[in-house]
């Protein structure tokens, strides 16, 4: 099964609230991981953070979550029933005095949006939220991003270069008769058609995350995907296809969202400020450290996927490729200010200017006066932490 790269930002606020009320609550964190014999190191979170820092992701474990999994030491516990991985929260190999629990999203939470899940379960401190999803949910379920995990979003449109040898961009694809298959409701597709890069008549919103339709089309159709996932999978793990794909990042067409940024409920920016001020730099550093030595985190990710056994397949070679592609494509990179995880206020405002009219046309209420500062903050980042 291919990751359904389906942004949820086109959902109306009422639908998001309905998801909260539909019984998606977590079953809890279970028994706390053992910290016997551990001493608190240079960073002490025990006085300011919850005993277990719960982080909600948007999908099954994968290398894009490598920075989060680098928070865990060698004694991490995988709970296949709850689809979570937990253990002592570590900073540079030292215990911080609290535990961390990383929860799977997607099928593990009934495909609920992360903001909805965060408001369903108050134990969740941080969640992965796209900027456009944050804008869509801002009326009923406001979140504020505290660290960017990707400088560029990994979403892409991909096509067969054998069928379309003269197509080198999404704009070129828009000049062909190719069908472009995608998840209905994907906000960036409204941007691509609204900006004239693709034609509405080309679109097919029936994509379900599996490769069957793409393969059946024999290369005549294009499809949305993740640059870190599908190109490798189609070439290396799907014998029925088994050849390279071309693609362009949607980000490179002028849709500059911050994908899966680490976000808190907006009220917690003040209420949990003492915790966030100490915790966020630890996650920053863990993310930087992951790219220096990803082996342990990737092994834990692959093991978690195997034990979850929910149809998602994630071999070690795919994790290795994703880690490499995140850096090679400039997805994981420092912000313009040189800090890993930082936000550019003007860029957030640009996303607002693109996304708000699209959402409004779909009946989603975006609060008047919503500011970039409400959507993302650099307040808790350590400006000295950066990728080399």
**How far apart, in Å, are the Cα atoms of 223 and each of 178, 203, 213, 219, 280?**
10, 10, 10, 10, 35
Intervals of CATH 3.40.190.10 along the chain? 13-28+40-152+257-375, 155-253
Tens place of pLDDT per residue across the chain (388 aa): 455 444 443 333 333 333 333 333 333 344 667 787 899 999 999 999 999 999 999 999 999 999 999 999 988 999 999 999 999 999 999 999 999 999 999 999 999 999 999 999 999 999 999 999 999 999 999 999 999 999 999 999 999 999 999 999 999 999 999 999 999 989 999 999 999 999 999 999 999 889 999 999 999 999 999 999 999 999 999 999 999 999 999 999 999 999 999 999 999 999 999 999 999 999 999 999 999 999 999 999 999 999 999 988 999 999 999 999 999 999 999 999 999 999 999 999 999 999 999 999 999 999 999 999 999 999 999 999 999 9
- Measured CA to CA, the distance from residue 27 to residue 29 in angstroms comes to 7
Q: From 3.40.50.720, 3.40.190.10, 1.10.287.470, 3.20.20.70, which CATH number describes the 155-253 domain?
A: 3.40.190.10
DSSP 273: H
Considering all CA atoms of the chain, what is the largest pairwise distance in Å, rounded to the nearest integer?
A: 64
| Residue found under tokens 């359904």 | 4
| CA neighbor of 157 nearest in space, from 59, 229, 257, 246 | 246
- Measured CA to CA, the distance from residue 326 to residue 317 in angstroms comes to 14
Using DSSP, state whether 144 is helix, strand or coil.
Answer: strand
- Measured CA to CA, the distance from residue 267 to residue 138 in angstroms comes to 12
| CA neighbor of 260 nearest in space, from 370, 134, 374 | 134
Question: What is the Cβ-side half-sphere exposure of residue 164, based on CA atoms within 13 angstroms?
Answer: 24
Query: At a CB cut-off of 8 Å and minimum separation 6, what does 29 contact?
Result: 52, 54, 84, 86, 101, 123
CATH number, span 13-28+40-152+257-375: 3.40.190.10
Q: What is the pTM of this model?
A: 0.91
Query: At a CB cut-off of 8 Å and minimum separation 6, what does 122 contact?
Result: none
CB atoms inside a 10 Å sphere around CB 368: 5
| CA neighbor of 33 nearest in space, from 10, 53, 15 | 53
| Residue found under tokens 């910290």 | 35
Strands 179-181 and 221-226: parallel
- Quick one: how far is CA 37 from the chain centroid? 34
Q: Which residues of 77-115 are buried (b: 16+ CB within 10 A; e: fewer)?
A: bbbeebbbbbbbbbbeebbbbbbbbbbbbbbbbeebbbb
Q: Put the strands of the sheet holding 203-204 in their side by side order.
A: 203-204, 179-181, 221-226, 155-159, 246-249
- Measured CA to CA, the distance from residue 15 to residue 307 in angstroms comes to 32
């Amino acid at each position: 099964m291919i990751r359904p790269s389906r942004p949820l930002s086109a959902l109306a606020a009422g639908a998001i609230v309905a998801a909260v009320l539909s019984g998606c609550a977590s079953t809890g964190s279970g028994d706390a991981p053992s910290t016997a014999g551990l001493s608190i190191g240079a960073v002490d979170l025990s006085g300011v953070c919850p005993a277990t820092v719960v982080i909600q992701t948007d999908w099954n474990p994968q290398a894009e979550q490598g920075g989060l999994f680098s928070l865990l030491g060698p004694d991490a516990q995988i709970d296949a029933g709850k689809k979570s991985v937990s253990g002592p929260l570590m900073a540079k190999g030292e215990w911080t005095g609290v535990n961390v629990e990383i929860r799977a999203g997607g099928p593990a939470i009934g495909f609920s949006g992360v903001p909805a899940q965060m408001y369903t379960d108050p134990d969740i401190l941080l969640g992965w939220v796209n900027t456009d999803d944050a804008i869509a949910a801002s009326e009923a379920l406001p979140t504020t991003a505290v660290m960017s995990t990707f400088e560029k979003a990994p979403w892409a449109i991909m096509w067969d270069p054998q069928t379309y040898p003269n197509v080198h961009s999404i704009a070129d694809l828009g000049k062909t008769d190719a069908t472009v298959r995608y998840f209905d409701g994907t906000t960036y597709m409204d941007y691509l058609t609204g900006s004239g890069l693709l034609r509405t008549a080309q679109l097919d919103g029936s994509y379900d995350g599996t490769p069957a339709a793409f393969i059946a089309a024999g290369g005549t159709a294009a499809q949305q995907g993740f640059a870190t996932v599908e190109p490798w999978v189609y070439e290396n793990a799907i014998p029925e296809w088994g050849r390279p794909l071309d693609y362009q990042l949607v980000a490179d067409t002028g849709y500059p969202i911050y994908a899966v940024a680490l976000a808190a409920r907006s009220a917690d920016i003040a209420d949990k400020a003492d915790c966030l001020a100490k915790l966020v730099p630890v996650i920053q550093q863990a993310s930087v450290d992951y790219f220096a030595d990803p082996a342990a985190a990737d092994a834990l990710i692959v093991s978690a996927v195997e034990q979850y056994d929910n149809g998602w397949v994630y071999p070690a070679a795919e994790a290795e490729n994703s880690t490499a592609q995140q850096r090679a494509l400039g997805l994981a990179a420092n912000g313009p200010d040189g800090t890993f995880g930082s936000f550019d206020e003007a860029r957030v405002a640009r996303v607002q200017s693109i996304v708000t009219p699209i959402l409004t046309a779909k009946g989603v209420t975006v609060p008047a006066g919503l500011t970039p500062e409400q959507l993302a903050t650099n307040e808790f980042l350590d400006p000295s932490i950066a990728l080399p």
